[in-house]
Amino acid sequence: MSQMFTPGTNTLARLSLFIGLLFVVIIVGAILIWDNSPLGNARAGIAVAQPVRFSHELHSGALNIDCQYCHWTAEESDYGGIPDTHVCMSCHSQIAIYSELLEPVRTSYATGERIPWQKVHDLAEHVYYNHSVHISKGFACETCHGPVTDMPLVWQAETMTMNWCLDCHQAPEKYVRPLDEVYTFGYEPPIDQAELGPILVEANNIDVDGLSNCSVCHR
């Protein structure tokens, strides 16, 4: 009975496995390099044009409007939320009612069509992020979004890379705050963060070991 496979088949199979493994390593390496390169982080530091020139510098900074007033879903869900036009008009039915800059807002309010706001912090689709969990554990808006009270137009303040996320997940004590300070911009810890952080990690019931589990962000 003749052999189905020649002696060289084993060598070919091993070579195929090696090439396949090498291909996977190259792809993963390319993704990691891109993720941490200037090109991969091209969004960071660049203000995103919006259909309405909404200024956080004015509203959050000068007028001191709390983040929760517009982004109220951040405490309750994974999504930070974009305010409905009715929220805008709760003020602008009385303030700056004839401003040309607010014409898209008035039109949206009259027609019911949503304003096509552009995403600024756009995580990859394979990344799961929950705003409510971070806020409830003492991680501030400012930590991820930067000093939005100084931004006429919002830009992505941080790289949002995996390494950037892991820096906090592996050492949350460096960034955690008292729960009543998560919406504070320009926060300064009352004592050295190296001393306060471990206390807050325990007080806020942060599972440090669980934060390094891949399934936390990749589900």
Average pLDDT over residues 90-101: 93
Give the span between the Cα atoms of 161 and 169, in whole angstroms: 13
Average pLDDT over residues 129-156: 96
- Cβ atoms within 10 Å of 151's Cβ, excluding its own: 18
Residue 16: pLDDT above 90? no
Give the span between the Cα atoms of 125 and 123, in whole angstroms: 6
Reading phi first (left if > 0) and then psi (alpha if -120 to 50, else beta), residue 121 is in beta
Give the span between the Cα atoms of 31 and 182, in whole angstroms: 33
pLDDT in tens, 146-185: 999 999 999 999 998 899 999 999 999 999 999 999 999 9
Instruction: Answer whether 178's CB lies under 8 Å from 191's CB.
Output: no
Residue 113: pLDDT above 70? yes
pLDDT the model gives residue 201: 98
Residue 145: pLDDT above 60? yes
Dihedral pair phi/psi, residue 155, rounded to 5°? -130, 165
Distance of CA 186 to the CA centre of its chain: 19
Instruction: Answer whether 58's CB lies under 8 Å from 95's CB.
Output: no
Instruction: Answer whether 92's CB lies under 8 Å from 102's CB.
Output: yes
pLDDT the model gives residue 100: 94
Count of CA atoms in the C-beta half-sphere (13 A) of 56: 20
Give the span between the Cα atoms of 93 and 78, in whole angstroms: 30
Residues of the chain with pLDDT > 90, as a percent, come to 70
pLDDT in tens, 27-79: 766 555 655 555 455 567 889 999 999 999 999 999 999 999 999 999 999 99
pLDDT the model gives residue 114: 93
Enter the tokens of residue 5. Answer: 């496979």
pLDDT the model gives residue 37: 54
Dihedral pair phi/psi, residue 174, rounded to 5°? -75, -20
Average pLDDT value for the chain: 88
Residue 213: pLDDT above 80? yes
pLDDT the model gives residue 19: 82
Residue with tokens 């137009």: 153
Per the model's pLDDT, the better-predicted residue between 4 and 58 turns out to be 58
Domain parsing of the chain, residue ranges? 8-37, 71-81+120-219
Instruction: Answer whether 62's CB lies under 8 Å from 188's CB.
Output: no
